[in-house]
Structure 1
Amino acid sequence: MGRAVGQREAAQAGPDAELASAKVNLSLHVVGQRADGYHLLESLVAFTGEGDVVHFAASERLSLTIDGPFASGLESDPTNLVLRAAAALGVDACGIRLEKRLPVASGIGGGSADAAATLRGIMRRYQLSVPDDELDRIALTLGADVPVCLRSRACFMAGIGERVETVGPLPDVGILLVNPRVAVATAAVFRELGLAARLAAGEEPGSPHPPLPAQWRDAAHFAEFITLCRNDLEAPAQRLAPVIAEVLDRLRQETGCLVARMSGSGATCFGLFPTREQAAAAGTRIAADHPGWWLMASQLR
């Protein structure tokens, strides 16, 4: 199946820019661990209409500048995933600017979304044609979440991130993302999960993800399905950052919140609402009580 065109057109922010949409793990089942230490996951992933923005301009060399509200502490050296993504496509002359709008180490894509947006933007700008399987191979060398971020639309992800299938259209559903401005390292959360030791002790990994329905009728039906799933990293992340429990409790108190859960390895949490307007109204109320928290209301896709 040809997916490359859809990947390139997924999230354009303008003729010389690409949107790196926030990625939301609506569910995340850890179902095993490989001998090399990589965890096996099953996850329903969706994206928002907002995120970082990667800008491209003519240049005599490959360079990266970073600005935006969450640029602090990010390095523009060759190890940055944006530069690695451009280099992986053979580009050595492009001025790239990353406008960092999303919090770092927050469980909503971050560098993976930026790398995927760079791949899409570079391919579009230079009219490159890369076979689907090769593009996915390149994406996976950059990070386990980069292949799903390439699609930038609702997908079911399995394995270590190499098995990605787009899913049917989501119903209209609003989402509110809330991050208490606490960075949580993914590696630390997996260590806290301690799956290897539990498997060695004879414990079984978590149960598989429930099968997706043929379609979701509406936001309430969608949220009902999400409640049947889980995020196996939520408990270990809360042990490392107890404020996550406070965020989840606050979301669940909001009128119209259909379900609240942590995304990815945290610390960003989400609440699903029947409409974007209800999500935004909840965000206004929460911001008044917690002015230090980062919030973003959007629509899932």
Structure 2
Amino acid sequence: MRAPPVTEFAPAKINLCLHVTGQRADGYHLLDSVVAFAGVGDRLEASLTLGEASLALGGPFGPELPAGGDNLVLRAARAVAPDLALAFTLEKNLPPASGIGGGSADAAAAVRAVLRLRGGAADPGVVQALGADVPVCLASRPARMRGIGERLDLLERFPPGWIVLANPRVEVPTPAVFRALSRKENPPLPDALPHWPDMAALAGWLALQRNDLEPPALAVAPVIGEVLMMLRAQAGQLLSRMSGSGATCFALFAEEAAARAAAAALTVARPGWWVAPAPLYPGN
């Protein structure tokens, strides 16, 4: 009897801070980042098929993605299980190329789906080759990510809280942001990360850290400055910053009601933006 379809959630990945600490000879940048995941994301259904591998795209941002073999979902499935023919349906709820790891989260969801259908474990080297963010998205838990994404330390005691994500619907190409980065060797995070008893403590510590890609992204897409200004004006926000290479920005909140009120206010003020409130996944 054929296995029933499986569904995987692909949560948004947020770089709460991102320090660029160097660049390797092969061009890859070295990072030191605290990463969290939010309860908003894409959904991927996978089932075994007797035909060729396929991908159907839906959701608000499905039409913006390629459905062919270059899609990360199909690439990930081929890399992990080249002998399986799978039919995928992706509900794309996260805007593409927005600095919250949507493509990597989808690839990681494909890997998890394949493993549920086939069993076994994924080769870490194969997962890493799919993209720098795929290993951390495969875990989908708060983590410190270093190197080119291969050094992961899961953060077990991560405080609960809420986040509001806002994207002005401007795609910011990651290569352009790195090209505009004036300094490639910057100080890393402290060797030992503190314990954050609550979201206010986390936000206070994060305020002392950086996203080194924020200044060059602002130069590429000045509208990011408006997003940050509007997030910082919301009642109850504890910290606002850009995620990844942009253009999505975030604000941290201790309470759900404040986060939902802020998201509602932003949606009214900027109806053309993508805005989403969501809980942050705590460490286990």
Determine if contact 2:100/2:248 at 8 Å carries over to the other structure: yes
What amino acid maps onto 1:217 in structure 2? P
Alpha-carbon deviations, 1:183-208, whole Å to 9, x = none?
11111110111446xxxxxxxx2111
Corresponding residue number in structure 2 for 1:58: 48
User: Which stretches of structure 1, 4 residues or longer, exceed 6 Å deviation after superposition?
Assistant: none
Instruction: Report the equivalent of 2:213.
Output: 233
Contact 1:189 1:265 in 2 (8 A): yes
User: Which residue number corresponds to residue 179 of structure 1?
Assistant: 167
Tell me the residue number matched to 2:140: 152
2:89 aligned with 1:101 = no
Which whole-Å CA distance do the structure 1 matches of 2:58 and 2:153 have between them?
Answer: 33
1:282 to 252, 258, 262: 262
Q: Identify if the C-alpha distance between structure 1 residues 279 and 15 changes in structure 2 by more than 3 Å, giving closer, same or farther.
A: farther
Out of 45, 49, 59, the residue aligned to residue 68 of structure 1 is 59
Contact 2:6 2:116 in 1 (8 A): no
Alpha-carbon distance in structure 2 between the residues aligned to 1:241 and 1:263: 14
Shift of residue 213 of structure 1?
Answer: 3.6
Report deviation, 1:214.
4.2
TM-score (norm. length: structure 1): 0.88
Whole-angstrom CA distance in 2 between matches of 1:290 and 1:99: 24
Q: Distance in 1 between matches of 2:74 and 2:274?
A: 27
The 2-side partners of 1:17 and 1:265 are apart by 29
Deviation at 1:223, TM superposition (A): 0.5
The residue type paired with residue 25 of structure 2 is: A
Alignment of 1:247-286 (within 5 A): 247-286=227-266
Residues 1:191 and 2:179 aligned together: yes
What residue is the counterpart of 2:279 in the other structure?
299
CA contact (8 A) 1:231 1:262 kept: yes
Query: What is the aligned partner in structure 2 of residue 9 from structure 1?
Result: none
CA distance in 2, matches of 1:104, 1:169: 30
| Gap regions ≥5 residues in structure 2 | none
1:73, CA displacement in angstroms?
2.9
**Which ranges in structure 1 are unaligned for 5 or more consecutive residues?**
1-13, 197-204
Write out per-residue CA displacement over residues 33-91 of structure 1, whole angstroms, 9 at most, x where no aligned residue. 11111111000000011200111123212111111101123112111110011111224
> Is 84-93 or 105-114 further displaced after alignment?
84-93
Preserved contact between residue 172 and residue 275 of structure 1 (Cα < 8 Å): no
Deviations, residues 200-227 of structure 1 (Å, cap 9, x unaligned): xxxxx21111245442111110100111
Map 1:122-141 onto structure 2 (within 5 A). Answer: 122-126=114-118, 128-130=119-121, 134=123, 136-141=124-129
Q: Please give the alpha-carbon distance, in whole angstroms, between the structure 2 residues aligned to 1:257 and 1:73.
A: 31
* Percentage of pairs with the same residue: 50
Q: Is the CA contact 1:70–1:104 (under 8 Å) kept in the aligned structure 2? A: yes
What is residue 32 of structure 2 aligned with on the other side?
42
- The alpha carbon displacement at 1:294 in A equals 0.6
Asked whether the equivalents of residues 52 and 101 of structure 1 are also in contact (C-alpha less than 8 Å), the reply is: yes
The within-5 A match list for 1:152-171 is 152-171=140-159
The residue type equivalent to 1:142 in the other structure is L
Q: Which moved more, 1:272-281 or 1:247-256?
A: 272-281
Q: State the one-letter code of the partner of 1:50.
A: V
SS at match of 1:224: helix
* Distance in 2 separating the partners of 1:225 and 1:294: 28
Matching residue's letter, 2:232? R
Whether contact under 8 Å (2:5, 2:46) holds in the other structure is no
Find the aligned partners of 2:5 and 2:255 in 1 and give their Cα distance: 30
Give, in whole Å, the separation in 1 of the partners of 2:214 and 2:194.
Answer: 27
Shift of 1:250: 0.5
Amino acid paired to 1:244: I
Residues 259 and 211 (structure 1), Cα distance of their counterparts in 2 relative to 1, 3 Å cut:
farther
1:21 aligns with 2:11: yes
Counterpart in the other structure of 2:74 = 83
Q: Offset at 1:142?
A: 0.5
Instruction: Give me the CA root mean square deviation.
Output: 1.5
